[in-house]
Amino acid sequence: MKIHIIDYETCSAAGLNLKTLRTSLKNHESGLVKNNLPGSDLDTWIGVVEQVNNVSDLGRWQSRNNALAALGFEQGTIRQTVSGLIGKFGAARVGLVMGSSTSSIDRTEMAYTKLDESGNLTEQFKQPLVHNPHALSLFMAHLTGITGPSLTINTACSSSAKVFATGARWLETGIVDAVLVGGVDTLCLSVLHGFNSLQLLSPNPCKPFDQYRDGINLGEASGFAVLQRSSESSNGSGINLTGYGESSDAYHMSHPHPEGLGARLSMTQALKQANREAAEIDYINLHGTSSRANDLIEGQLISELFPNTTRCSSTKAWMGHTLGAAGITEAIIAMDTLNTNIIPGSKNLETLDEALSLSIKASDEHKVCQHVMTNSFGFGGNNCTLLFSRSE
């Protein structure tokens, strides 16, 4: 069964919405800035969505993560699309699948800095629905009025790629008639200093797949897409989800499998489900974090599975690695090439890693694509590959 992408929208440091993101990609304008996160003096670059600071009226739902979700949901036509589907099918027949790796831990961090004299939470921070791994989906159900099945996926950096696969299965089995999928993650001290403890942060703007890359930059983002069965949709975006692959090799808590075992499985599964050969894929948005190990292993695997003419790029140098929101952010960038006919380059790439042989360039390419892929590989070997195709 083909799944139609009815609508999609993204919000990150590279652009408040899809329209501004397209402009940033076209002009090669990165949203990364020197680390200015309050309470942190780490020498690195981050992708901050400054407009989130203006969202402070969420009451009992207040957290930076929920604020970014609310901000992103107001962009484009996502809110109107979801409201229309609720009106058509009923709120109980619309599903909700969100991905987040940190949920609202930013709010929990703040709560512990403002304990009362007895060491207890103060009234404003007694928020059981916020200090909760499922907080994002709870908040989005509240915000949208969706009463259908709701799920939060937390598989690290593949979280909001896997939402597409779950949403597709719900539609294929008839559990719902439409699904809002999304992902949101925000910067906080736990995230930034946690990655620093793994010695992964770069003091420079990241350079995915470059010979001289020296680490990653972190960012925050929100993204949403609306899925529906092809037989019941007018398909406003002209894009289908035609294949997905998921795997969990569980090789190591933070290091990818040295031979890319799980990543290979996710890519080959997506191709098989879509009934496509590797040579038919026009563009792959790589996970490409700019770490030494991740880029090398993914790059070598791409060379083994795909022709060297398959155009690839990593787009993390625009907004940073947005963790649990990276999957949907990069899925949207990949699928949007089917509408813009522009394959984004790999920003900051100067000298390709000498151990790799890929069709990857810093410059954009104008091309009418038919089939595109995106990879999202998370800690613990949680991998997901999505394949999108132009509607026939």
Active site residues per annotation: 157, 287, 321
Contacts of 329 (CB under 8 A, 6+ apart): 10, 12, 160, 183, 221, 223, 319, 322
Is the torsion defined by CA of 123, 125, 129, 132 positive or negative?
Answer: negative
Look at residue 245 and give its three-state secondary structure. Answer: strand
The H or E element that residue 218 is part of is strand 218-219
Among left, alpha and beta (phi > 0; psi -120 to 50; other), residue 95 is beta
User: Which amino acid is residue 176, in one-letter code?
Assistant: V
Write out the two tokens for 365. 């390419």
d(CA 103, CA 131): 8
Asked if residue 14 lies in contact with residue 84, where contact means CB atoms within 8 angstroms, the answer is no
Contacts of 17 (CB under 8 A, 6+ apart): 9, 10, 11, 75, 76
How far from 304 is each of 82, 225, 360, CA to CA, in Å? 41, 31, 15
Asked if residue 210 lies in contact with residue 352, where contact means CB atoms within 8 angstroms, the answer is yes
The H or E element that residue 162 is part of is helix 159-172
How far from 195 is each of 2, 50, 202, 217, CA to CA, in Å? 38, 22, 10, 10
Contacts of 99 (CB under 8 A, 6+ apart): 152, 153, 154, 155, 159, 160, 161, 162, 163, 181, 182, 183, 324, 325, 327, 328
d(CA 186, CA 130): 14
